Structures are given as structure tokens and as C-alpha cells.
Structure 1
Amino acid sequence: MANFRELTIDEITQLRQNGCHSNEWVRVKVADPFQPCHYHDCVFIGDIRLGITEGSLRGLGGLDFPTGIYSATLRDCEIGDNVRISHIRECIVNYRIGSNTCISNVGSIICNGRTAFGNGVKVNVMEETGSRVNLIYDKLSAQISFLQTIYAENTQLIEALHNMIRRYAEEHSSDTGEIGSYVTITDTTRIQNVRILDRATISGASALINGTVGFRATVGCNVIAENFIISSEAVVENSVLVHNAFVGQASQIRNGFTAHDSVFFANCHMECGESCSIFAGPHCVSHHKSTLLIAGYYAFFNAGSNSNQSNHLYRTGPIHNGILEHGCKTGSNSYIIWPAHFGDFTLVLGKHSRHPDTSALPFSYAIGQPNGESLIYPGANVKTAGTIRDILKWRIRDKRSHDIPKLDYVNTVSLSPLTAIVLYRALSVLEQIEADENYDYPRRHNFRLKREYIRKGREYYALAIDYFMGETIVKKLLHTPLNPDKTLWEQLQEEPVNVAGDWADIVSLIVPESKIKDIFSSIIDGTITSVEQLSERLNYEGSQYDHYAWTFVCHNFNKCYSVNIEDITPEILVSVIDRWTESVRSLDQMRRDDAMRDFTQQIGYDTDFDSPGEWLDDSMINKEFNPESNPQIMSMHNHYVQALLDAHQVTTELKRTFNINDNK
């Protein structure tokens, strides 16, 4: 901003003629060139700084308006260059306003005392009683929120984490509010203790209290938000109610949704329904008025209409919660009484009131029975078109702009070392159930399993493991220049890393559990002292996923292919990739067959018929619903075609480099 000076007598005279007033004109400082004609009907109280007013600003309606201040009361404010402020019904108090910002038809914008603008607000995630408190702040990531939520019993970790966040909140506290540059605020009733960052838009909001509106974020009509963080490029509009909540980057909360004590991370889309004490990881979706999400953990989740969960089966308070892991869906009218735990990519249908734990059987159908029992079809979701459709859409629906630092680490892989470990365990569980009728694993985990579905489940799980292993091998070879003078192992081995034991899924940041324990130790012993350092470390671990995944495949190569990776030959590797291509073709065919079910039951009406309501015959249906031109089917098929092309490229290079004859 420019240097400021005192007003001249002539300038004060002209301001008074324009209807402006101040009891202490000496406390009103201005930048040169100062043009009094841009100020009408203003009241200046306390220390005021006025920037340069030249040219005009374009409002939301696309019309240009002259810069300056018109019909407004300002107290202890600093105004940037080329700002337009008009029709402030009450006042703007204790705010610093950036350049090229437009504020019009607003009730009040006030900062009354020292505030952290939503940083450090307590959010009771997953448990309304407050035993899993999240402290939110404007750079909160899904991963750091996860650590606060899921590892709440680690009191040393939580104390250290919360201390870091409290320090961050204190460092970003002020008794002066901030409105950035190129901000638009119109038709809004009340803004109190809110920091508004550059290029944000607030239009028609009812009340915003104690929070932050992020870079390029949008807050729309009739929004009431208290104790909140709205991150960059997020949209909150159309009668949304937000209380004690974090809204992640590029998320959309719209159309009457109510969020209480909830956190939503990148690219969530919530409409019409209600949430209470939930953790919504990236790419969670809920669109229906009758849906209630409560006391749950979700990630890459889709809620069907009238999906409800209940944490009211208690005697000492709402202490129960539940987990729907990565990629789960709930069908229409699904109902779950917490506690319950469903594994990755599980489709949940019907009523579940007996607290099932299906975490050991991912990719399943969980069908609620009339008596509330959960019937599990293991692995059934491996073959469905919906699974691959979701995976592909997550990869293209990241709306976070490339010029903005991404807070959440988002890995959209569906099959990973962690998945492989769970799938191997699932195979073991199914084998034991099949071998021993008295094996009580389902009973102990509160679900039922029909024996006739066990063999098929094992086939699906084996196929998924084989797909993961082969995909990782092909990906590695695509990025490895081959040398005929070296052994394959010499060229494929990487720096050793400990991948033995369990792995962790920190909201799609997938790493060996040993790495997370190292991070915990660094937090507790003070090696990591700030949230910035913690975010950097977590993002680094996420960036090492390909290295960790390849090391895992090497570590488990013998288990899958009955040969040590160190002894691998080009010929064996070609046969491994050929085996993988069969898995690719199998999945392509399974999921294509599943998708075709949409086209075998289509009915419709031809609006051109003379007789209203006449049914379409088969030939007309085929024309209207042509699967060969359906973009979803084409996208799924093209995904597998590309996998086969990659496999062909790799095997061709192996054969050329090592002089492998197809006739051998």
C-alpha cells in the first residue's frame, strides 16, 4: 500500500460537502492521489487509512461501479487501493481491506477483540461426547485430522498435536480482521470475526461468525456459519447451516445441508441432508434430503437416499461410532446402528442392527436382513462396473487448482499393499470357514456368510491380488530402461525399506505402519514441532508410495509367483505379465457384463408417438440406449485397453532387450 498523509483543509471541506463526517479528521490518513469526490455520506471513527481510488470495479452483475466509499460507517479500518464500499447499514469495524475489493449492501463487518478466525475451534468428530476432539485450522489436512480422530487414545500424541495447532492458532490471531484483495461481499447481513482471503466471494449470506473464508472460496445465499473454516475454492451456498465445521478444498456444501461438528475434506459434495460429528474424507458425496450421517468415518463414500446411521444405542451418552472404509456405498433406505465397521469398497444395503465388523472382507455386499442381521457376499464388488466407475471418476474429479498448494494428500488407488494384505487375510478366513463348519469367525464378528458364496469370494480376492501385483510390476517396467548386460534384479531393485508387517491407510495416504510410528515418535519427542513440519513429513511419505508399493511386491513376489524376485529371469517376467493380462481381460469382461445389465432392462416412452404413454419396442430401445456409445462403458473399457497396451509394450521391450524368441 502507498504511504499515508493527513487530509488538507480543502479536502476536509469537500468531504463535509459530500456528507462525510468525523470527530477527529486528523486520524483520517489518505494516500496520494486522494480524490474526495469518491467519498459520499461516510462516517469515519478512530484511525482510518484510505487508499487510492482510481477507475472502477466490476460487480457480480457484470456492471462497472466507481471505486470509493458511499453511505458507510468505518471505525479503525485500513482500506486498500481501488476499493468500493457502499451501503453499509451499520458499520465496518477493525478491518484491513485489500485492493480491488467490492463490499456493498452489507449490514455489519466487525472484529471485536482478539480472535483466531476459526483456528483452534474444537470439533467433536465421530463422538459427540468429545473424546475425539479435532482442533481445526486453515491449513488442516485430512491426514492430520485423521491422526487426531483415529489415534485419540494415544494421549501423548494428541497432546503434542493439539499444542502445535494451538500455537498455530495463536500465531494467526489478531484484533484486526482481514479482507483480502479482489474480494466481493454483497447483500450480506452480518460478518463478525471472520478472515476473508483473496478472491473470495460472499453473496447473500445471513451470518458468518468466527471463521475463515479461503482463497477463491464462495459463500452464497442464506448461509449461517459459526466457528468454521471454509478452505480455498470451496463452495457453501443456498441455506446451508454450519456450526463447528471444517470444509475442505474444492468441496461443495449446498442446498439446505446442515453440518454440525463435522469435517469435510477435498472434493466432498454434500446437499440437502444432515451431518453430525462425522469425518468425511476426500470425495464423499451425499445428495438427498432424508440422509443423516452421524458419528462416522467415511472416505471416497457415496450415500444413497435416506441413508441413516444411529449412535443412540447408549446408556451413558452418544459414545458409539462407526467406520465405512475407503470406497463404501450405502443403498437407498440403508440403516446402520453403530458401532459397526465395513471394509473397503463394501456396498451396504438394508438395515444392520447387530454391529457387524466386515473389515476383513473388503469388496463385499453387506445385505441387511429383516431381523437386522448382516448377510455378507464376500468379494462380490470386485466384479461390478460401479467399482471401476468410481475409481476412474475420482481421478478426474479433483477440482483443486494447480496454482494452489493442496492440503490433502489424495491417492486414488483402489488396490494397494494394504489392500493386498487384507485380501490375503480374507482368503485365509474364507479357507478356514470352508474347511471347518464350526469355525465361528462370522459369529464373532456379527455377520452371516452363506457357504455357497465362499468359493466365488476366494476367486474374486485372488483375482484382485493378482491384478495389484501385475499392475505394479508393469508400472515399474514402464519406467525402467532395460540393459541386457545386467540382471533384471540389478535393474529393478530399489533402496531397501521396511515394508514388513501391517500397513496404514491415513485417508488414502498408504504407507507401512512403521513409517506412521516413526512420525508419532517424532511428534512426541519434539523432533516435529509445527503443523507445517508435520504436513511436509506426511506429504513426503505419500510421495514415496510407488517406492513402498514396489518394495512390497518384491517382498511378496515368492508368495504370489513361487519364485524369489532376486532370481527372476526375463522369461519368467514375461509369463508373469501374460498372467496379469488374463486378469485384466477377466475384470474387463466381468465389469462390462455387469454394466450391460443397465441395458437389458431399459424401458421408456417415445415423446413423438401419437398415443401418449406407448412403450418403446426393442429396436427403439437399442437405438436410444446404445451401450457401445455409452461414455461410462467406453471409459471403463478404455481403462483396461490401456492396461493391455502397457503390458504389450513391456513384454515387447523385454523380448527385444533380452532376445527372447516367442517360439522358445
Structure 2
Amino acid sequence: MKDYRHLSPSEIDTLKKNGCTHHDWSLVWVKENFKPDYIRDTVFSGEIKLGVLENVFFLEGGIKKHACINRAVIHHCEIGDNVVIENVQNYIANYCIGDNCFIQNVDVILVEGRTTFGNGLKVNVLNETGGREVHITDKLSAHFAYIYSLYRHRPKLIDRMKGIIDFYSEKHASDRGTIGNNCVIVNVGYIKNVRIGAFCKITGTMKLKNGSINSNKEAPVHIGRNVIARDFIVSSGSRVDGGTIIERCFIGQACHLDHGYSASDSLFFSNCQGENGEACAVFAGPYTVTHHKSTLLIAGMFSFMNAGSGSNQSNHMYKLGPIHQGIVERGAKTTSDSYVLWPAKVGPFSLILGRHYKHSDTSNLPFSYLIEKDNTTYVAPAVNLRSVGTIRDAKKWPERDRRTDPHRLDFINFNLLSPYTIQKVFEGIRILKHLQHTSGEASEIFTYQSCIITKSALKRGLELYYIVVHKFLGNSLIKRLEKTPFKSNEEIRNQLKPTTDIGLGEWIDLSGLIAPKSEIDLLLNRIENEEITTLEEINNEFKRLHENYYEYEWTWAWEKIREFYEVTEETITAQNVIRIVEKWKESVIKLDEMIYDDAKKEFSLSFKTGFGADGDIQEQELDFEYVRGVFDKNPFVMATLQHIEEKRALGNELIDRIKSIK
């Protein structure tokens, strides 16, 4: 064997004197500079490869530990350089262990038979009884899983995707496990058929069975105390700790599960957090967050979602069993003790308050409040647009991206406003106007999807939807014309002309990736026709769509600008642009002022209740000020005021640049 040699007779004698045994020492291979001095009381069997033991580990508290193998039973293993393997209660079997690993106080680590280490494992997501199962892999993205679980109306596509997964799983199958370089495995119980990536830290874990831990130097994984995991994949940069129990789960990049969280048949994609509560058959898209003991997420699809304490859903009505599912589109929130009876669909950036039983579909009324009153769902369209919480969430998501792995699985678009949400705003305008027309403007209430919309809520919703349309289309126009000097209307028209036709028509949100539906359909056709045959090729297509988002966005926005403002590509003038920008300025400032007023509510007298507990009103206000700060100096408030000035200046700059053009 290259780089290895047999043991010398003197080395065998030393090992025997140190209490080590092997039924056939000729099966032991060692590196050239191997010395047996630091191997004691160890039983070897099968073919063994040993590296050198030269370095010293510096442990917390000032302890030094020389590389060694002590008190262990090791079968059919390859062990790298400078490891500590000590106090193995049962045995380590069929593993390749990397350099600089520290393995101490473990029960058993083994691979039995040929295994795929969790790849190809079936997860019954959304429907516990099957039908939307996702077969997980190391390279699973939220976008691939979205298509694989929801596009069951294209059986040929699903069959091709399953074939791609099977190929990948078989390619990575082995009867030998790996523990990468620089791993720490201490005080651990049972590990079976688990592949462990480099720089992984596993401490105090109870049981790991049939899975992959895709740790690496740039994004280490930590598996902590009392964790039990069966049939799983944990992606780079994630942390699973504090008695978490997972079964048949995929954990995406930079996720954090802790404090006794339990999950089965669920997928968690980038930057999800789960603490205290439980999940069953959940598709948790990027940034799905749940922190509370009494919160259950079940049979639902979520993303950019924050679940309040006591949030709950039901996926059966005591008839045909748990076959129902729900979709809560990106950016939604649930308040404490909210409840939704599946099936139901909730539009993006909505807030769910109370208990809802009507199986409503508000997907085309984005930014809404769903409020329960007298067992009826009342919808307040668009009001979440003026909420300070909505804007704060949109700002914090990119700031809280904890992924450090340069090879990202999910391609996440953080934009609050996009062709995906604005197309729903346009549809919301159409719906509300249709309700006005059919029911009459004199009506005090309107019925939509088994929900109630009051007259005042409908009127306010239309006003806010128009404001946000002006804001988005104006944003796109100004961005397109920025930093360019123009001398004529013809030059403006040339700049406005899109560079591609891609982007026209409907857009979709594939759990974080916002893209034109036409391009996704084209990708799916290529998969069906076997033009694309690997996971890597599919992920590269997702990456391309993500990287070209703004180019495609402009194609869509320019078409809507022409329709909405009744201009044409051949005749638009500088004066038309100025009119649009003035409307944009007015809308942006008006929306920011609403957000400013909403933020101000949190500094009102009623919100100071409980502060200055033993004093008068003056002390109450002082206590509040020292804890929460002064309103005018609040960072978000200051940023909002600055945003108003910046947008006003941005609009004025463009107007000044083109106003002389005739």
C-alpha cells in the first residue's frame, strides 16, 4: 500500500507490552514515521491503517493531551495522523478517521453493511400519509424540494427527479464511514451509519443513526447534548443541541434546533430556527422560526415565517385522516394562540390572528391581516404594508444570514417587493374592485373566499395597494435610469428597453428563489427530456436565475409601467418619467410616514405600563427611556427618517437630470 508499511517485530512487541492485541498483525499497516508508544490497551481486528501520533492537543482549562489510542476496540478502520481515540466502551468499526480528531468516552461508532448515509431517504413532507414525499440528499435545495413535492401533476418530471436522486445516492453509498479531519466526538453514546464531515463537534449526544453531517472548515456543524437523530442529513454551519429529537429530517445550512425541539418527516432550509416546540410533515423554507414550547407546525409550507407561542394547525377533520395541507407564503407571521384548519392558503407577508376554520385562500391579498371575530375570518387587505414590523423583518433577514459555507444550497431573494408580490398586489386590486362592482359601493361588508372584508378595510386596502405599486414601479424605473446622463428622449427610450424577453408573465417563489415561471417551466421540460441529468446541473440553473434576477425583473416591471401609466416604448418622454417619479416620491414618503407613525405607537403611554414600577409617571417615563431609549433616537426611527430624505433626494436628482429634455 502506498505510503504505508507493515509493523516491524519490535513495534509489535511494544504494542503487545502496552496491552494491545490483533489476531494477525500482518493486517496492520502504518505510516513510515509511526511509533507505537502512545497506543495502549487496545484490541485491533480486521485490516487496520494507522497514522503517526506526534502532536499535543491543548484543551480548555490548560490541559495538554498527547495524541494517543487508549482503551479501545477498533475493527477494520483507517486512522489518520495525530488523533486521540480513548475510552471506547464497545468498539469503532468500518470507519476512515481523519487527521487531528479527538474521540473520547464514546460507546460505539460503526457502519453495518452498505449504506447511503441518509441520501435517498424518503421524508413524507406536507402529507403524513405520503404523496408529496421528498427523497433527501446532501445537495438538496429548497427550490428542488419545492418542485419535487408540489409538482405531482407532472409524473414524468417527478420520475426523472427521483432517478437523479437515486443516482446521487448510489454514487455516495459505501460500507465504510468517514469522520473528517479535526473532528471532536466526546461523551457520545451510539453512532451508526453516519458520515461526519471535517471540523464537526459532537458532544454529549445520545444517538445518531443513518445520516450525514456535512460539516466543513468554513461552516462547522455542532451536534450537542442529549440529541437523538435517526434518518437525517444535517447541512454545513448548523447546530442541533439541547435534547433535540429529529427523525426523517433534512436540516439545511446554518439552521439551529435547540431546547428540546422535536421534528419528524420535515425539511428545514437555510437559517431556520426551532426551539421548544414540534414539527411534523413541515416544509420549512428559509428563515422559518419557531421558539415556543406550545407551538406545533404540521403539514404546512412556510418561509420567512415567525410562529407565535401556541400557534397550531390541523391537517385532518376526523374523516379520511391527516391528508390536508396548508401553504403560508413568504413573510407571514402568526400571533399567540393562532390556529388554522387546513386546507388553507395564506398570502405573502400576512399576519394571522385568532382561530380560523373556513379553508380560505387569501394568496392574492398579500400584506393582509387575517383576524378572527365570532368564528369568522375578517381580512384587512394590505394593512401590513404600513407595519413597522414588516419593514424591520425585511431588513433583518439578510443581516441574519449565518451561512459561511461558500457553496450555498439555497439561492435566497430577500426583496420585500418583487414581481412575485406585486403581481399579487395587482390581482388584489382586481379582486377588491370586482367586489365593489358586484356588491355595490353601498355595501358595508364584502365576502371573499369565505372571509369578510369590511367597506373601510376594502377602501384602505385599495389605497395601500396603489401606493406600493407606485413605489415598486418607480423604484425599478429610477434604478434603470440612475447614473446616466441623457440628452434626448431617444436616449431615455434606449436605456429603458429591456435586454431580454425573459421575465414577462407570471413569477413564482420557489421557497426563497423568485423567478419567472416561464424559465422554471423550461428547466422542468429539460429535466423531463433528460437534457439535465444531475443535481449539480439543476442547482446551477437555480443559481443562474438568481444571479440574473434584476435583469429579468426589469423586463417585467417595464411591461407593467407601460400598462399602468399608459405609456409606450416608442413615445415615452422625459416628462412622462418625471410624472412617474413624482408619484413615486409621494408614495414612498407617504408609506414611510405611515411606518413612522406605527413605530411611534410603541413609545406611547400605554406601552410604558410596567415601567417605573414603584414611581410616578415621570419615573415611569425615565425608566422606559433608559430601557427602550428615546423615540427620536431609535435606530429604526432614525433610519426611516433618513430613508425619506434619501428617496426624496434620489427622485429630485433624476428629475433635475432630465427636466431640460424636450
TM-score normalised by the chain length of structure 1: 0.94
* Structure-2 change in CA distance of 1:226 and 1:442 (3 Å): farther
- 2:196 aligns to what? 196
1:251-330 aligned within 5 A: 251-330=255-334
Between 1:221-230 and 1:466-475, the stretch displaced more is: 466-475
- Determine the C-alpha separation between the residues in 1 that align with 2:642 and 2:197: 42
Alpha-carbon distance in structure 2 between the residues aligned to 1:152 and 1:59: 53
Helix, strand or coil: the match of 1:500? coil
Q: 1:362 aligns with which of 360, 366, 374?
A: 366
Alignment of 1:495-644 (within 5 A): 495-600=499-604, 601-603=606-608, 612=614, 617=619, 619-620=621-622, 623-624=625-626, 625-644=629-648
Aligned pairs for 1:36-51 within 5 A: 36-51=36-51
Aligned partner of residue 47 in structure 2, secondary structure: strand
* Distance in structure 2 (CA, Å) of the matches to 1:585 and 1:307: 35
**Equivalent residue, structure 2, for 1:408:** 410
Q: Compared with structure 1, are the counterparts of its residues 36 and 442 closer, same or farther at alpha carbon in structure 2 (3 Å cutoff)?
A: farther
> Partner residue of 2:169?
169
Give distance in 1, aligned partners of 2:650 and 2:99.
Answer: 51
Structure 2 matches for 1:418-497, cutoff 5 A? 418-437=420-439, 443=447, 445-478=449-482, 481-484=484-487, 487-497=491-501
Alpha carbons 1:320, 1:338 under 8 Å: kept:
yes
Partner of 1:378: 381
CA shift for structure 1 position 636: 4.2
Which amino acid is the alignment partner of residue 431 of structure 2? Answer: V
Describe the shift of the 1:273–1:180 C-alpha distance in structure 2 as closer, same or farther (beyond 3 A): same
Assess if the C-alpha contact under 8 Å between 1:605 and 1:613 holds in 2: no
Amino acid at match of 1:358: T
Asked whether the equivalents of residues 325 and 342 of structure 1 are also in contact (C-alpha less than 8 Å), the reply is: yes
**Alignment CA distance shift 1:331-1:75 (3 Å):** same
1:2-45 per-position Cα deviation (integer Å, ceiling 9, x unaligned) = 71110011111111111111111111111121111121111111
Please list every run of 5 or more consecutive structure 2 residues that lacks an aligned counterpart in the other structure: none
Residue type of the alignment partner of 1:530: T
The answer on whether the counterparts of 1:627 and 1:633 sit within 8 Å (CA) in structure 2 is yes
Distance, in Å, in 1 between the alignment partners of 2:320 and 2:246 is 27
- Residue 71 of structure 2 is aligned to residue 56 of structure 1: no
- CA separation of 1:44 and 1:361: change in aligned 2, threshold 3 A: same
The answer as to whether partners of 1:388 and 1:636 remain within 8 angstroms in 2 is no
User: Structure 2: which amino acid aligns with 1:386?
Assistant: G
Matched, 1:392 2:395: yes
Letter in 1 for 2:603: F
Say if 2:446 and 2:455, in contact at 8 Å, map to a contact too. no
Q: Matched residues in 2 for 1:71 and 1:210: separation?
A: 26
Q: Secondary structure at the match of 1:602?
A: helix
C-alpha displacement of 1:605: 5.8
The residue matched to 1:185 in structure 2 has which SS? strand
Counterparts in 2 of 1:161 and 1:427: CA distance versus 1, 3 Å: same
Q: Would the aligned equivalents of 1:628 and 1:634 in 2 still touch at CA under 8 Å?
A: yes
Q: Per the alignment, do residues 637 and 60 of structure 1 end up closer, same or farther by CA in structure 2, a change over 3 Å counting?
A: farther
Listed one character per residue, the Cα deviations across residues 277-307 of structure 1 (whole Å, up to 9, x for unaligned) are 0101101110000000000010100000000
55-64 vs 3-12, greater mean Cα deviation: 55-64
Give me the whole-angstrom Cα distance separating, in 2, the residues matched to 1:582 and 1:636: 15
The letter of the residue matching 2:608 is I
CA offsets 1:555-607 (integer angstroms, 9 cap, x no match): 12222222124433334323322321222211111011111111102325677
Q: Could you give the per-residue CA deviations for residues 98-147 of structure 1, whole angstroms, max 9, x where no partner exists?
A: 11111111111101111010111100111111110101111100000101
The 8 Å contact of residues 611 and 621 in structure 2, kept in 1 or not, is answered as no
* Equivalent residue, structure 1, for 2:208: 208
Give a deviation string over 1:528-547, Cα, whole Å, max 9, x none: 11111111112111222101
2:199 and 2:656 map into 1 onto residues whose CA distance is 52
CA distance 1:16–1:461, shift in 2 (3 Å)? same
Q: Paired residue for 2:6?
A: 6
Give 2:498's aligned amino acid. Answer: E
> Judging changes above 3 Å, is the alpha-carbon distance between structure 1 residues 201 and 651 closer, same or farther for their aligned structure 2 residues?
farther
* C-alpha contact (below 8 Å) 1:54/1:82 kept by paired residues: yes
Q: Distance in 2 between matches of 1:28 and 1:221?
A: 35
**How far is the alpha carbon of 1:60 from its aligned partner?**
6.0
Aligned CA distance change for structure 1 residues 61 and 318 (closer, same or farther; 3 Å)? farther
Answer yes or no: is the 8 Å Cα contact 1:117–1:193 preserved in 2.
yes
How do 1:8-23 residues align onto structure 2 when only pairs under 5 Å count? Answer: 8-23=8-23
Partners in 2 of 1:519 and 1:362 — Cα distance?
A: 28
CA-atom RMSD in angstroms: 2.2
Q: Does the aligned pair in 2 maintain the 1:128–1:318 contact within 8 Å? A: yes
Tell whether the 8 Å contact from 1:303 to 1:331 is kept in structure 2 after alignment: yes
Report the CA distance shift for 1:508/1:13 in structure 2 as closer, same or farther (over 3 A). same
Instruction: Look up the match of 1:340.
Output: 344
- What is the correspondence of 1:82-231 to structure 2 with a 5 Å cutoff? 82-215=82-215, 216-231=220-235
Q: Distance in 1 between matches of 2:502 and 2:542?
A: 17
Deviating beyond 6 angstroms after TM superposition, the runs of 4 or more aligned structure 1 residues are 438-442
Secondary structure of the residue that 1:182 maps to in structure 2?
Answer: coil
Distance 1:605 1:279 in 2: 39
Q: Deviations over 1:196-233 (max 9, x none)?
A: 11111111110000001122111000000000010000
- Quick check: 1:230–1:246 contact (8 Å CA) kept in 2? yes
TM superposition shift of 1:499: 3.3
Indicate conservation of the 8 Å contact 1:482/1:491, yes or no: no
**CA apart distance, 1:56:** 1.4
Contact 2:15 2:39 in 1 (8 A): yes
Corresponding letter in the other structure for 1:361 = L
Letter in 2 for 1:122: K
Q: What percent of counterpart residues are identical?
A: 37
Secondary structure of 1:227 counterpart: strand
Alignment of 1:234-253 (within 5 A): 234-253=238-257
Q: Whole-Å Cα distance in 1 between the matches of residues 59 and 477 of structure 2?
A: 55
Residue 283 of structure 1 aligns to a residue in which SS?
A: coil
Q: Which amino acid aligns with 1:434?
A: Q
Alpha-carbon spacing, 1:613–1:483, altered in 2? closer, same or farther (3 Å): closer
Aligned partner of residue 29 in structure 2, secondary structure: strand
Aligned length, in residue pairs:
652
Deviation at 1:61, TM superposition (A): 6.0
Determine the C-alpha separation between the residues in 2 that align with 1:195 and 1:177.
5
User: d(CA) in 2 for partners of 1:640 and 1:29?
Assistant: 71
